[in-house]
Amino acid sequence: MARILVVEDEMQIARNLRDYLEDAGFEVTVVGDGGAALASARGDRPDLVVLDLGLPGIDGLDVARELRRSTNVPIVMLTARGEETDRVVGLEIGADDYLVKPFSPKELVARVRAVLRRTSRAGAAEVLRTADVEVDLSKMRARVDGHTVDLTPTEFQLLATFVREPGRVFTRGQLQEALHGAMLESYERAIDAHVKNLRRKIEPEPSRPRYVLTVHGVGYRFADD
């Protein structure tokens, strides 16, 4: 049973999310502020964090930054702010997905399941290699030029998608489907944010990428030389 930490200061919303997630078979802990979220994440080691950005005290973006310093736990952001900037910042910090309030709790459950599937896909005993990049699906481990690279589940799945078909040009829509599934509406610039995060971790010079290349007007491809 996957353990979900819900960080939400609006108690009615928190209760609704807890009920829906528990009905879906998850074990749920609910906290209402950033300090409690960090303490719970350190002590309980959840499998995924549902994180509201508009928290009292330590806000959600700062919580996400702190979590990313010490863990690759998947993060699904919640925000009442529909502004694009908030979503971009949260994704670039390392969040795996987001929902803008108001949203359907059923959609949240679907998003949580989709993100967790990225982790569970590590079951196959398969190692993908191209050039000096190695992706071990069974151990969910990536190595570049012999060095292990720490990736979030979303970044790992994105890299695996590229490495399976080096040279193939992927549109943003195709990458969204690979990460989120065809049934989930997503935010196209989320792919750009995930690619930026991946480049920051695997590229010798992220501003001059060697592996994940931009195909202008289309999307991205992984170098096949």
Contact 219, 169 (CB under 8 A): yes
Quickly tell me which residue has 């080096």 as its tokens.
166
What is the rounded CA–CA span in Å between residue 7 and residue 63? 10
Residue pLDDT, tens place only, 72-121: 899 999 987 666 677 788 888 888 888 888 889 999 999 899 888 876 65
Kindly state the tokens that stand for 81: 């702010």
Of 56-60, 82-86, 202-206, 211-215, the range with the lowest mean pLDDT is 82-86
Give the residue carrying structure tokens 């010079």. Answer: 205
Q: What is the CATH architecture of 3-120?
A: 3-Layer(aba) Sandwich (3.40)
pLDDT of residue 34: 93
CA dist 94 and 46 (Å) reads 16
189/183 Cα distance (integer angstroms): 18
Mean residue pLDDT across the chain:
88
- Which pTM does this prediction carry? 0.72
pLDDT band at 183 (very low <50, low <70, confident <90, very high): very low
Please give the pLDDT value at position 179.
80
Angle subtended by helix axes 188-202 and 84-93, to nearest 10 = 30
Closest CA to 108 of 220, 194, 209, 6: 6
pLDDT in tens, 22-46: 999 999 999 999 999 999 999 999 9
Please, are residues 138 and 126 in contact by the beta-carbon 8 Å criterion? Answer: yes
Strands 127-130 and 141-144: unpaired
- In this predicted structure, the answer to whether residue 63 has a pLDDT above a threshold of 50 is yes
How does pLDDT run across 118-148, given as a tens digit for each residue?
Answer: 766 544 558 888 889 999 987 888 999 999 9
Pick among 3.40.50.300, 2.120.10.30, 3.40.250.10, 1.10.10.10: CATH of 124-222: 1.10.10.10
Q: Provide mean pLDDT across the span 56-61.
A: 88
Give the range among 50-54, 76-80, 160-164, 197-201 with minimum mean pLDDT.
76-80
SS3 220: strand
The per-residue DSSP string of 94-123 comes to T--EEEESS--HHHHHHHHHHHHHHHHGGG
What are the sequence ranges of the domains in the chain?
A: 3-120, 124-222
The secondary structure of 138-184 as a DSSP string is TTTEEEETTEEE---HHHHHHHHHHHHSTTPEEEHHHHHHHHH-TTS
Other beta carbons within 10 angstroms of residue 117's beta carbon come to: 14
CA gap 4, 47 in Å, rounded: 6
